[in-house]
Amino acid sequence: MAADFDHIKQKLKQFAHDREWDNYHSPKNIAMALTVEAAELQEIFQWMTEEESLRLNKQKLQAVKHEIADVFLYLLTISRVLDIDILEAAAEKLALNEIKYPLDKARGNAKKYTEL
Amino acid sequence: MAADFDHIKQKLKQFAHDREWDNYHSPKNIAMALTVEAAELQEIFQWMTEEESLRLNKQKLQAVKHEIADVFLYLLTISRVLDIDILEAAAEKLALNEIKYPLDKARGNAKKYTEL
Amino acid sequence: MAADFDHIKQKLKQFAHDREWDNYHSPKNIAMALTVEAAELQEIFQWMTEEESLRLNKQKLQAVKHEIADVFLYLLTISRVLDIDILEAAAEKLALNEIKYPLDKARGNAKKYTEL
Amino acid sequence: MAADFDHIKQKLKQFAHDREWDNYHSPKNIAMALTVEAAELQEIFQWMTEEESLRLNKQKLQAVKHEIADVFLYLLTISRVLDIDILEAAAEKLALNEIKYPLDKARGNAKKYTEL
């Protein structure tokens, strides 16, 4: 299946446009929908142990894949509506995280940077 | 800033690996962290009107950009840990959505597909 | 329907105990389930305008009522497991909020206290 | 500290009224704020093991207590705005859950009722 980043962004834009959903797609509403999808992803794991969450059966893995896609599609939508370049945002945040979580303090340690 | 999709995935993997965070990164835990970041994104908008959410000042827009990046980075992380191709997942879900939300029923209508 | 606070806490405890769910009910897991229910509550409102969210039809109001109950039951569960008195916690937080949001600054203003 | 259920509801109502926050308090907005608080509660546990989440130090326990209170206060607020009796809602849901999760099927099993 063709799965190029720019192609997906373009198809997604067309999809919402064709359905005249732009009116519903205020950043506030999309952010709500995005959290709901994130919670649906999380729900799959909530009664599993951490170990179980690593070895999903085929059906659960497929469900996870769909929920990841849902979160991703809303993430692309809110980025488009607010004219944010998501790849640039990610690169910028990664650079910031390298400062916030210096190797010598963060290694083997999942504390929040404010607690380091 | 260089911001190529594969480059970001590679840097992110290295970032977690260098900090020996792989032990914390069970899918269950990453899914939790992802929802938390989605909620932080949503929090920016919660007392705004929909209209206000469309015209953010520079400071709010920057905050949104960072939260979008945080969600995206966890989305890439959970995809990596579970060996899911996020672009393929998105393409597959878009194709499904075209069936679930047919143009003639979904146009101008944000009802969930089960209510159409 | 009998609906006394202590009676509900007691029945809920018995319900989980009878089903031998105590093993699943780590605070971590309950917190996850609680967020999922909160997201389900939110989902009902996500494509509504604020005005629409105030005048729900009977069916939506019933759905909201069930989701509110789900969040509440998990809130009572996590409080029980961690031996927290939820009414005392609420009274304490209300007292703190009176300090954090002084009348002269907070009136007609939904800014977070850190921004006041 | 006085911590009677009806007293808290009354104080909370007065608190919002004094600050003229009723305009911000559409059910849509409160539901968003409630999810954000649920996520903040969850965040405390996200990198802990389930075992660690059961034996919190004093500081973490206090943080949990505050977040539980925040969720609870928003739950009371949305119930008030929509004129829902939260105790009745909980009693009703508990009765429904006894049907959805019959003892013989649900014992020792955290599967969702649709999977039982």
pLDDT along chain B (116 residues), means of 10: 80 91 91 98 97 97 98 97 97 94 82 68
Which pLDDT tens digit goes with each residue over C68-102? 999 999 999 999 999 999 999 999 999 999 999 88
Task: Give the mean model confidence (pLDDT) for residues D62-88.
Answer: 97
pLDDT surpassing 50 at residue D1: no
Instruction: Name the residue facing C75 among D5, D68, D85 (closest C-beta).
Output: D68
The domains located in chain B, with CATH, are 24-102 (1.10.287.1080)
- Whether the CB of D39 is below 8 Å from some CB of chain B: the reply is yes
Interface of D with C in 83-112 (CB under 8 A): 84-98, 101, 103, 106-110
pLDDT surpassing 50 at residue D55: yes
DSSP assignment of B31-92 equals: HHHHHHHHHHHHHHHTTS-HHHHHS--HHHHHHHHHHHHHHHHHHHHHHHHTT--HHHHHHH
The question of ipTM being above 0.95 is answered as: no
Q: What is the predicted pLDDT for the residue at A63? A: 98
| Sign of the C-alpha dihedral computed for residues A28, A31, A36 and A37 taken in this order | positive
Q: What is the predicted pLDDT for the residue at A110? A: 73
Rg (CA), chain A: 18
Determine whether the interchain pair A50/D47 forms a contact, defined as Cβ–Cβ distance below 8 Å: no
How far is it, in rounded angstroms, from Cα B73 to Cα A79? 14
pLDDT string in tens for chain A (116-residue length): 446 899 999 999 999 999 988 888 999 999 999 999 999 999 999 999 999 999 999 999 999 999 999 999 999 999 999 999 999 999 999 999 999 988 888 887 777 766 76
Instruction: Name the residue facing B110 among C32, C47, C110 (closest C-beta).
Output: C47
Determine whether the interchain pair A18/B65 forms a contact, defined as Cβ–Cβ distance below 8 Å: no
Amino acid making up residue D15: F
Mean pLDDT of chain D: 92
- Whether the CB of D57 is below 8 Å from some CB of chain A: the reply is no
